[in-house]
Amino acid sequence: MSGSGSRSREKTCCGRCCTLLVSLGVVVLIYWAIFQPHQIRARVDYAELSNLTVSNSSSSAAAVAVSYHVAVNLSLYNPSKRVNIYYDTLDAELRYRGAVLSPDATATAAASPAEFYQRRKAEQVVSLVFDGKGVAVPGDDVGKQLEREVKAGVKLDVELHVDARVRYVFGSIKIRQKPTVWCALSIPVPSTAGGMGILGSGDWCWVKYR
């Protein structure tokens, strides 16, 4: 009898827990429907390229080594009318035709501010700074294409990828999301060795939630 009573109490506790979880889920859905948080929007307002050099990589005959300094002003906009957003982390990297130009071992990316609070219908400009020192770009096709673009002295086509961790806040409820921002940048190659290429874009970026 005692075993039967114990199982009955366990079933009751499990049933209460399930009911509570379902109730919380319904409340969150109701809040979500009422407040209707929208996906963030992003655009590149400004980008500059300097200290750009390309040479043969010492690690592989088929690779080239690139050094550079890239600074980007990324504008993030919260279009929601009632929902505020906490930005907890921003992890950014530069890519060229799929090859990462900013691996941790040879380059660093710094974001300022690193984390911030964004009110509804508000915009925040984030400064991203990349410094690459002898980053190896592997492969005959990718590496040689990068070398040709730089030597042509017209523009450098790179991609900016930003993985963010955010919290949508409405009332006392917070919902975590992981948006990814992707931006295509065509930055003019500096005409002189110590020069600077500047891009004033304003083009909207692509945003996807994971």
pLDDT tens for the chain, 210 residues long, are: 544 555 555 556 676 777 777 766 666 666 555 555 689 999 999 999 999 998 876 666 668 889 999 999 999 999 998 889 999 999 999 999 888 887 654 556 788 998 999 999 999 999 999 998 888 887 678 888 888 888 888 899 999 999 999 999 887 778 899 999 999 999 999 988 778 999 987 788 999 998
Residue 170 phi/psi, 5° resolution?
-140, 115
Count Cβ atoms below 10 Å from residue 203 Cβ, excluding itself.
Answer: 12
Same domain for 134 and 186? Answer: yes
**In 3-state terms, what secondary structure has residue 146?**
helix
**pTM metric for this prediction:** 0.79
Domain around 62: 38-209
For residue 81, the number of C-alpha atoms closer than 13 Å in the C-beta half-sphere is 4
> What amino acid occupies position 194?
G
Same domain for 94 and 51? Answer: yes
2 part of a folded domain: no
* Domains of the chain: total: 2
Which residue in 47, 65, 49, 69 sits closest to 57, CA to CA? 65
Same domain for 25 and 93? Answer: no
Same domain for 155 and 79? Answer: yes
